[in-house]
Structure 1
Amino acid sequence: MATDFQLTPAQRRLELARPWVLLLGYVGLAGAGWWWLAAPLVVIVCLAAFVQMHDAMHNALGLSKQANKRVLTLSGLLILKSGHGLQVTHLRHHGRCLTEADPEGAPATWSFSRVLWQGPWHTLMLRREALRIAPNTKRIQLLETGLTLALLVGFEALYYFAGSAIGLVYWGVAFLMSATMPIWASYVPHHVSARNPAARTAAALAQAWTPITASFAFHHLHHHYPRVPTALLYRAAAELPPPPEEEHHH
């Protein structure tokens, strides 16, 4: 059963710490002036934050309700998102997958060229849709949105007063990751079959405890077992009944 797949305390600590340890690594590399390593590391930070935020959306981390809400907010901030806003549209995606009532999944039904030019605007549109779908979460959504803007102001101040670009570079790369999310978090997972060589490679890597690749390799499985933590999807793929893949690949 899917409920058998729960993180151990040690695994939970690792899942909670991963994006923040990577963030510290970025700060250290950037502070040393090693930008050729620091800037790409921001991409990895954002992907790790996305995995953590995604697990929090599904209450898959084994945390209390309040702790899970805090993780959802903080991990969302790492990729300049309202975690609670994305939770609204993501749960709608699971409930009405790739229908007209699924704003998050819309890019998966578009041509790739349309995703490229319309994706960034779609990212902004999802904020509006989240407020429309769940007006009861308006306060926390607006607070989280305000915090992402406050980060930009703070990073600009850091550059102006201290001459440090550490914050602005992070914000810039994270903004790019956020703007392209319709590509790597919607279009690609719904168009790459589990039998695709890239997906098979990602599945093999996931066995070495790499939740970022697991999120990509087992996307179809996640739709059927959303409460399984991303880091344990590789085990679930081996032990749970396989889902009909065609439901989520168009």
Structure 2
Amino acid sequence: MSHTDLIKKVEWKDLKKLSVKEMLIENNISVPWFLISLFLSYKGYYLVAIPFSGFYFLTALRQVHNGFHNSLGTGKFLTWLSMYLNSISMMTSIHAVKFNHIRHHKFCLSEQDYEGKSASMKWYQAILYGPKHMFLIHWVTFKLANKDYKNKMILELFCISVFVFVVFYFSVNFLMYHILIMFFGEFLMAFFAVWTVHHDTHDNPQFARTQRGFWKNKLTFSMFYHMEHHLFPAVPTIKLPELAKRIDTVLPELDKKQTF
């Protein structure tokens, strides 16, 4: 079944709309984890802070990912502000990531899909490829993006550089921890955000891997409903569990490769 045929069979447009409660969740889901992580690291409990930092990174990724697809339920300025602030806290230009992610949807797993390069690698190669992946994301944006994307990327990278300089110059230990753990997370993006959801799907790239199982999806904040996202990218993450139910009901025979 083609992508077009599937879209015709599944009701999904109503899922684009967010209630006020859902909008508040999607725009603030990372805040508690961020604050707890900073508090614990400020107190010197770095090992205890690590899982909270991990959950912050994951939920912030969910937040900006919805921003990529204008699915936060807010206007342009607030969407930009969310992505800008998360750029500084996540140690990467989120607009550079957005530029490559939109191309990823358009050219999924082709030569022009720079975000998806690690999908064809072995799992350990994808992990080792992480630092190059992050460099490539910014380099491709610099080479191929329009002026607006470039200016936003330059602003974000400048602010990140100032933040890092100030933190290390004044030896602010808990923020040094945060910076280092965020860089570590960014270096794993080629594995977690690309390889896990796209490996061995080159024959039909739009049908990415997905995840079933209540607790697995709760612990990963619904970020591994990736087949559903690729088929209906305008649907906010908070609505993906309902979208998955509709796909399973209408097309129970559809092959769903599991993420893990």
Per the shorter chain, which TM-score range? 0.7 to 0.9
The two structures have a TM-score, normalised by structure 2, of 0.83
Q: Which residue number in structure 1 is paired with residue 230 of structure 2?
A: 223
Equivalent position amino acid for 1:20 in 2: V
Q: How is 1:134-173 mapped onto 2 (pairs within 5 angstroms)?
A: 134-136=145-147, 137-159=149-171, 164-173=172-181
The CA distance in 1 between the partners of 2:173 and 2:71, in whole Å, is: 36
- 2:117 matched residue in structure 1: 106
Please say if 1:19 is aligned against 2:30. Answer: yes
SS at match of 1:92: helix
How many angstroms apart in 2 are the aligned matches of 1:185 and 1:21?
A: 22
- Per the alignment, residue 131 of structure 1 pairs with 142
Q: Does 1:33 align with 2:41?
A: no
- Seen in structure 2, the aligned counterparts of structure 1 residues 246 and 39 have a Cα distance that, compared at 3 Å, is closer
Structure 2 CA distance for aligned equivalents of residues 223 and 61 of structure 1:
17
**AA paired with 1:184?**
F
Report the RMSD for the aligned CA atoms in angstroms. 2.6
Which has a greater percent of helix? 1
Is contact 1:23–1:42 with CA below 8 Å preserved after alignment? Answer: yes
> Following TM superposition, by how much is the alpha carbon of 1:205 offset from its aligned partner in structure 2, in angstroms?
4.5
Measured after TM superposition, the shift of residue 138 of structure 1 is: 1.0
User: Structure 1 length normalisation: TM-score?
Assistant: 0.86
Residue equivalent to 2:63: 52
Q: Could you tell me whether the CA contact under 8 Å between 2:120 and 2:199 is conserved in 1?
A: no
Find the counterpart in structure 2 of residue 237 from structure 1: 244
* Equivalent position to 2:85, from 56, 74, 77: 74
Q: Is the 8 A contact 2:87 2:160 kept in 1?
A: no
Secondary structure of 1:123 counterpart: helix
Further displaced range: 91-100 or 128-137: 128-137
Aligned residues: 238
Q: One-letter code of the match for 1:56?
A: G
Gaps of 5+ in 2: 1-10, 202-206
CA spacing shift, 1:122–1:31, aligned 2, 3 Å: closer
8 Å CA contact 1:108–1:191 kept in 2: the answer is yes
> For the residues of structure 2 that align with 1:38 and 1:112, how far apart are their CA atoms?
27
Structure 1: stretches of 5+ with no match in the other structure: none
Q: Report the 3-state secondary structure (helix = DSSP H, G, I; strand = E; otherwise coil) of the residue aligned with 1:215.
A: coil
